Structure 1
Amino acid sequence: MSYIAHIRSSDGKVQTVREHLLGVERLSGYFGDKIGVGNVASIAGLLHDVGKNSPAFRDYILEAVQNPNHPPKRGSVDHSTAGGKLLYEKFHNDDQPISRQLIAEILGNVIISHHSGLQDFLSPDLSSDYLRRVKEKVIDDFRGMVEEFYTSTSSYKALEQKMKSSENELIDVIKRNPQSQRLTLMFLTKYIFSCLIDADRTDSRYFEENTAMNTPHDNPKLFEQYHSKLTEYLNKLSANKHSQSKINQLRADMSQQCEDFARNPSGIYTLSIPTGGGKTLASLRYALKHSLTFGKERIIYVVPYTTIIEQNAQEVRRILEDDVNILEHHSNVVTEEESTGDYRYAKDKPLTLAKDNWESPIIFTTMVQFLNTIYSNSTRNSRRMHNLANSVIIFDEVQSLPIKCTSLLNEALNFLNKVCRSSILLCTATQPALDFVEEKVDSIDGEVIQNLDEISGAFKRVEAVDRTNSKGWGTEDLSQFILDQMEVNPNILIILNTKTVVRKLFNQLKEDDPDLLIYHLSTSMCAAHRQNTLEKVKHCLEKGEKVVCLSTQLIEAGVDISFDCVIRSLAGLDSIAQAMGRCNRHGKHDLRYTYIINHNEENLNHLKTIKIGAEITGKMLRDQMYIQYTEGLLSPKMIRFYFENFYRELENELDYYVPSLDNYIFHLLSQNEKYMKAYVHKKGEKLPLQLHTSTKTAGKYFNVIDQQTTSVLVPYEGEGKEIIAELNGDPSIEEMSALLKKVQPYMVNVYDHELNELSKQQSVVHLWEGRILALQENAYDREFGVTIAEEGKMDPHFI
């Protein structure tokens, strides 16, 4: 009787271990070929489930199917260690070359970890998760599993030949990024891990759905169509009578420069279009042309906040006339849990096997999700990494990167460009000095816009006015200042640094002028809610109605909206520049003003980077260093000066310091000297491995934002409620895949203390055994979004 990998739920058909291993081998190798490591990745697929070649696993899976209500203990049969142990025993002897030992370690870790996340080669307690599994753990009938593999699936000679070919691939990868060999090996391990995870789940899905492998997207044909539609749209804009304005002519010129620049080889480039200069479409024009010229597989937009994903994706969908192939990925819908992968057959398959792998031709996602894809240790995040290869990756408002992730982002960009053959575009009007820090981007290959000084001066349509003072502004004083400004400015945007003071000012303005039309924006609202609010505000602006919009900094990055007046609470110069970009955005008036105030009720003690940024900007305002430049405070030299001082002030935090470890995540993933020295001191010998990264530990502590958050689904409008109802049903794998896309605009990230309080109020609904969380209607407010202090006030229209 053949050994069993899977049993189909619909008809009880068996997929043998041999069939599954060969299927995953092909897919994983295909993913690896994108960066020239097809043999390395295919070995991972070939060996990942060798441990299922056993009577014990066959009995386990049969019992799980026959007794769905009382299945065997999850993970009671270890099937993931055997493949890694085989590699260690056969290819990690002292007589093996170092390159082969490296391959054995990379693949061994990938295989033993494919249901739980990559393991540490060396942990903080100076043990090795990897050695514990591949060397020390005793596996019943291990020899029988290996013999069955050689008999039914692949000979030892064939495996040895693949290993030899893999060594050549490894050497080639190291040559592409020789300055950072340790980091390159770490990234390569994560890349192969991604190939295996996606191949394993995809092959399992094909079997479960009883379908053949999908034909890959014909992206070159799609990109050709997209390029034609974008060109046609831009030509129509040029024919419009409003296109003759100075700003629109400059936008058209910069857009054309992006088209022309796309003929340059793949590299890391800056696109420093001034705020309001049409970055989204200009960068799309570059990306489509570059993809067609150099055969790139997909285009990925990485934005700082979920706020602008909906807006940008909607605009691109409208212009390209495609609602199917453009993916928005705001956040992870499913909470990650460590799993053996032996999911309860009928119930867990749709959630586990649903497509969530960034295979779409155009993707809009956040910096949080991008960095999680590379540095988080969860299998759901890691699955997407290989689809970053051979792509055009556009970072919109890259200066919004959290300071602690600076070194990690820079090295990721180096790997993606040099090894993964991706082209990187760093877009912002305020370019951060990423070449100033120690762990820097190795090479900024050029600026797309050639006449940048001339364009920056021509785009000046707003002036910063310093209204900071020694005592600071209180909420009541600020409310009165806004009302006074309304006498001369019919619409005003106010941006403050914390949600608390935004809400307080909202209530104060309502009290001071009950008839005033006021809207609120914050990250407590889901993307759909924020987008609807923005549309209402834009409608008021178009009709010339008096309106006030209060927001946290989320409105600054890329939101296409223009106010006659902006008031900005003191922050970093990059934030001030972005706020100014929401004022007189299209040059409707000759000159308008952005007032910079210092709010004395903002508590920035837990927002260190905002606090330091505000201090540096405050000093620049007091010293009036900028008056010598035509562009004023936002001149390129002032921006460079600001970022150099910002990075200098925070130089000890660029590598992502973890206080509880007294160590840096960057170090854990590279040399790991601290633990290596401690190991030698304790053991009196070197670690008997070529690799010594603490990948699992780094993943455990890695969070892009300082406080841990969880994504929850909110019942906003009819569709939010409908999605919750559908998830509460019994969707198929295909239906679940569609739901995971559909649900994105209705997610909100809440901090742990907020989630605990919501749970105490019994406002959290647990779907799919707690792997998806949703809120009750009483916890979502029609004005402020997720609310804890009092019951929400959802409009009857939404219920």
Structure 2
Amino acid sequence: MSRIVPFETCIARPGVSLIEHSVFVKRSMEYFLREFDNTTVRLAGLSGVCHDVAKAHLEWQAYIQSSAIKKRPNHSACGAFLFSYLGYHFLKHIDLWEKYKILWLWLIQDIRSHHGKLSDLNDDSWLKKYEWSKIDLEGIEMFFKKQYKESENVKLSESSLIHWIHECARLLEDIYDELDLEYEEWEALPVMKRLQVWRQMTTSLISGDRFHVKEVSTQWLAKQDFKRFHKAVNDFSKKHADEPLSVMRIEAQQEMMRQLEEEPDHTFYTLKMPTGYGKTITSLKMATWFGEHQGFQKIIYVAPYLSILEQNASEIEQLFDTVVLQHHSLAILDDDPEQRTSFSQLAMESWAHSLVCTSFQQLCKAIFPSRAQDTLRRAFLKNSVIIIDEPQIFSPEVWNLFLCGIEALAEIVRLKVIFLSATMPPFRYGLSNEPKKLVIKSSAEHNRYQVVIETEVQSEETVVGFMEKNERETQALIVNTVKDAILSFDNLKKRGKNAYLVHGLMTPIHKKAQIKKIDDLLKEKQTRPLYVVSTQIFETGVNLSFQHIARALSLLPSIFQTGGRVNRHMENGEKAGLLTIFPFYQNGNIDTRSMIYPKNLQKITDRILKEKTLYTELEMVDLVNQYYSEMFRQNTYEAALMKIKDAYEGGWNKLSSVQPFHMNDPRLPIFVPYEPEVEEIDEKILKLKKKFQVSDPEQIYNKYSDRQFMANLSFEERKLFMILFNYYVLDVLAQKALSIISQEEYLQKKIPILQDKKIYDELYGLKIDVYD
């Protein structure tokens, strides 16, 4: 028999005994799940006892005590096996096996997956023979019986465990059959609730395990905090009382709060206000009311894009005079175990803060986690108010599935959910009940713009003359592709126009600089008309206002969002702004609209718009409602709900692969060493450059390439450095990226630097394939 390490002397990590860690996780899970029934709590606690117990393996103990040993046996699968055996006998002893056998299977897979990707239920690769002679089974048995005295007759021996392989396989087949919904009537929400209960079990294990490594606790908001925040919102409105729209904004806020206070007990609310009326401020006012009057303790703001997230996070910090936790793609540094168990990373991933700003992607990972670490987002989610901005940007294919998931989760952890948008998608196919609608319409006396529908086709050559016919002091041209934008901009410059260009093939620092420059110009009295050419990036998250916008025909919600940049703050007084819509064909014969938008949605838009040639802002609201009604009449997008059935039957990956946006063609990152003029650079970026003592992009890239420099950074420093670094990174379609950077460079460096500086221009951004 091989030498073994007595279980009572085994360690989970230096300075922490395996027994201590196992008991901590057990108790942590039991506390987290305290509102569940007693058997669920105790069985989950047993999974906490077992999750790391296989670290008692002789070779694992040698590994943890010697830095020279790099290889270690897999303890997760073996721990799952031991739990399957002990959990089964525990349930049989209390005569509750049939009732809890599905929970037993969930917990097996949680243990097996607790350091990686969450497994499908029907993956039984953990069910095999292990090196039992190298583990102190007798010591584990004694430890187990101390924790679960009713299981004193259970014997843990090599022979009993070998026998268990065959017996367990038979039990698994029985459970798989029971999970099969093929011939049963099933409803999406009840099944989704069961799945969300499962992921609460997962969360209890992962948070218990990780937080024993680094103790993490959250900040909660108390009643007096919400009172202070409520006052801050009111004070903010008073400070901006001199703005043209201020009276309407204040009245709109008051009306929304009146509607809320009449019906305050709904879980879901929609806050539908015209663009520019202060939706975010109003939603924060609602959230503070829920905290003050209904005991909610946390606010989570969720945005579709990083630009909107950063902008509103900054505004929330200024408004409430406090720091918010930002969690988005730039904050996920890597899968290095040492980084992912650092205090700062754990606090960020578990949203351990009273005010959190995060992205659609991260919220989806909380509802449909892919990796064990993703479940940490749920650790401190209870009693939160979640504000979801611009929900219409969700891909319609997953919208109903997302709604079903968040409804199930809201019931388990007590959430309030507020959806913000001027263009709200339908909820009836995803939620069991319609949200409470809080609505403010544009005032008929204060229409900020008119929409003129033109039928004559324009191209990059003719659109200049088209815009001159309606020339104002400030105007923008918004087209559907980058190439459309660059070619149109070229023609404006040839005609001597005072023109600026912004599009998606500019680095984040370049786009920020351009938007800042344009914003400054819009606040000045123009000596000659100002022209701005852009792609769709102006539709959301950009607080700019033009007297006239010419918009290449797109889809109705897109057109309506564009309208929010026309005379946005009624700075022209009672004189309405102008939004002109027209078909745009590149070179006069290429319909680039069809490269971006589905044909069926184009047809819906065209059919609705053809009724008239002139619309007011107020009328556009009804048109968008017609659009969504027709869109979901043609396709209710309920097919995605079948993923719930697939996940319940074992294929969790069907849900964990859900993305909030339609996944476009693959892209590759390129570091672009272009720097705007210092006076154009955002103050936040300048502070980061000063912190890391870099004066140009090449120095940033050199530090990124210096492994020693990166290794010496703390988690917070590394996070900030990567945020700075990513301001210079452009994601380019893979085919285009590989036409300017070799595959070898990508293999050598995860993010290669652009060597040919002629390809990137201060006016045009990345110029590839435009003049072919």
> Structure 1 length as normaliser, TM-score?
0.76
Name the aligned partner's letter for residue 416 of structure 2.
S
Q: Deviations over 1:349-397 (max 9, x none)?
A: 7998684332232222222332244335134544324444421111111
Q: Which residue of 1 aligns with 2:626?
A: 641
Q: Which residue of 2 aligns with 1:168?
A: none
The one of 131, 138, 157 aligned to 2:148 = 157
Q: Which residue of 2 aligns with 1:325?
A: 324
Distance 2:133 2:668 in 1: 40
Tell which deviates more after alignment, 346-355 or 403-412.
346-355
Name the aligned partner's letter for residue 448 of structure 1.
L
Partners of 2:330 and 2:722 within 8 A in 1: no
Deviation of 1:490 after TM superposition, in Å, equals: 1.9
* 1:170-189 paired onto structure 2 within 5 Å: 180-189=189-198
The one of 254, 257, 261 aligned to 1:256 = 254
- Aligned: 1:475 with 2:460: yes
- Aligned: 1:670 with 2:645: yes
Name the aligned partner's letter for residue 189 of structure 2.
S
Distance 1:774 1:356 in 2: 28
Deviation of 1:709 after TM superposition, in Å, equals: 5.1
Q: Which residue of 2 aligns with 1:462?
A: 449
Name the aligned partner's letter for residue 635 of structure 1.
V
- Aligned: 1:444 with 2:434: yes
Deviation of 1:618 after TM superposition, in Å, equals: 1.1
Tell which deviates more after alignment, 403-412 or 494-503.
494-503
Cα distance change on mapping 1:516 and 1:154 into 2, 3 Å: farther
Distance 2:314 2:621 in 1: 32
Name the aligned partner's letter for residue 399 of structure 1.
Q
Corresponding residue pairs, total: 688
SS in 2 for 1:571: coil
Cα distance change on mapping 1:91 and 1:265 into 2, 3 Å: same
* 1:317-466 paired onto structure 2 within 5 Å: 317-322=317-322, 324-327=323-326, 329-331=328-330, 333-334=332-333, 343=337, 355-435=348-428, 437=429, 440-449=430-439, 452-453=440-441, 455-466=442-453
Partners of 2:453 and 2:613 within 8 A in 1: no
Q: Which residue of 2 aligns with 1:543?
A: 524
Name the aligned partner's letter for residue 583 of structure 1.
V
Deviation of 1:463 after TM superposition, in Å, equals: 1.3
Q: Which residue of 1 aligns with 2:75?
A: 79
Structure 1: gaps of 5 or more residues: 8-12, 122-127, 162-176, 207-212, 657-665, 673-690, 792-799
Deviation of 1:318 after TM superposition, in Å, equals: 1.8
Distance 1:639 1:280 in 2: 21
Deviation of 1:222 after TM superposition, in Å, equals: 4.4
Q: Deviations over 1:392-420 (max 9, x none)?
A: 11111111111111122111221132222
Bigger Cα Rg: 2
Distance 2:356 2:710 in 1: 25
SS in 1 for 2:498: coil
Q: Which residue of 2 aligns with 1:615?
A: 603
- Aligned: 1:60 with 2:50: no
Partners of 2:220 and 2:353 within 8 A in 1: no
Distance 2:252 2:340 in 1: 53
> Structure 2 length as normaliser, TM-score?
0.78
Cα distance change on mapping 1:119 and 1:250 into 2, 3 Å: same
Q: Deviations over 1:680-702 (max 9, x none)?
A: xxxxxxxxxxx523113543575
Distance 2:339 2:731 in 1: 29
Q: Which residue of 1 aligns with 2:514?
A: 533
Partners of 1:31 and 1:41 within 8 A in 2: no
SS in 2 for 1:219: coil
Cα distance change on mapping 1:500 and 1:48 into 2, 3 Å: farther
Distance 1:225 1:774 in 2: 48
Cα distance change on mapping 1:384 and 1:159 into 2, 3 Å: farther
Q: Deviations over 1:448-484 (max 9, x none)?
A: 24xx35x453552111111233xx3222122333355
Partners of 2:549 and 2:580 within 8 A in 1: yes
Name the aligned partner's letter for residue 132 of structure 2.
D
SS in 2 for 1:624: coil
Distance 2:63 2:659 in 1: 35
Q: Deviations over 1:706-736 (max 9, x none)?
A: 2355677776666475776378445679821
Name the aligned partner's letter for residue 482 of structure 1.
M
Distance 1:26 1:713 in 2: 47
Distance 1:444 1:416 in 2: 17
Task: Name the % identity.
Answer: 20
Q: Which residue of 1 aligns with 2:715?
A: 736
The one of 185, 205, 208 aligned to 1:196 = 205
CA RMSD, Structure 1 to Structure 2 (Å): 3.9
Partners of 1:34 and 1:390 within 8 A in 2: no
Partners of 1:519 and 1:550 within 8 A in 2: yes
Cα distance change on mapping 1:645 and 1:60 into 2, 3 Å: same
Tell which deviates more after alignment, 780-789 or 190-199.
780-789
Name the aligned partner's letter for residue 477 of structure 2.
I
Q: Which residue of 2 aligns with 1:660?
A: none
The one of 48, 69, 76 aligned to 2:51 = 48
Q: Deviations over 1:535-561 (max 9, x none)?
A: 221110001334333322232124222
Partners of 2:644 and 2:655 within 8 A in 1: yes
Cα distance change on mapping 1:742 and 1:752 into 2, 3 Å: same
SS in 2 for 1:480: helix
Cα distance change on mapping 1:347 and 1:101 into 2, 3 Å: closer
Distance 1:533 1:27 in 2: 50
- Aligned: 1:227 with 2:223: no
Q: Deviations over 1:716-770 (max 9, x none)?
A: 6664757763784456798214532664473655555456556517766978xx5
SS in 2 for 1:363: strand
SS in 1 for 2:349: coil
* 1:20-31 paired onto structure 2 within 5 Å: 20-29=21-30, 31=32
Q: Which residue of 2 aligns with 1:675?
A: none
Deviation of 1:645 after TM superposition, in Å, equals: 1.4
Cα distance change on mapping 1:620 and 1:697 into 2, 3 Å: closer
Name the aligned partner's letter for residue 549 of structure 1.
V
Partners of 2:232 and 2:320 within 8 A in 1: yes
Structure 2: gaps of 5 or more residues: 1-5, 153-185, 676-684, 690-696
* 1:694-705 paired onto structure 2 within 5 Å: 694-700=651-657, 704-705=661-662
Partners of 2:670 and 2:754 within 8 A in 1: no
Partners of 2:601 and 2:631 within 8 A in 1: yes
Cα distance change on mapping 1:644 and 1:117 into 2, 3 Å: same
Deviation of 1:774 after TM superposition, in Å, equals: 6.6
Distance 1:353 1:14 in 2: 20
Q: Which residue of 2 aligns with 1:569?
A: 552
Name the aligned partner's letter for residue 502 of structure 1.
A
Partners of 1:375 and 1:699 within 8 A in 2: yes
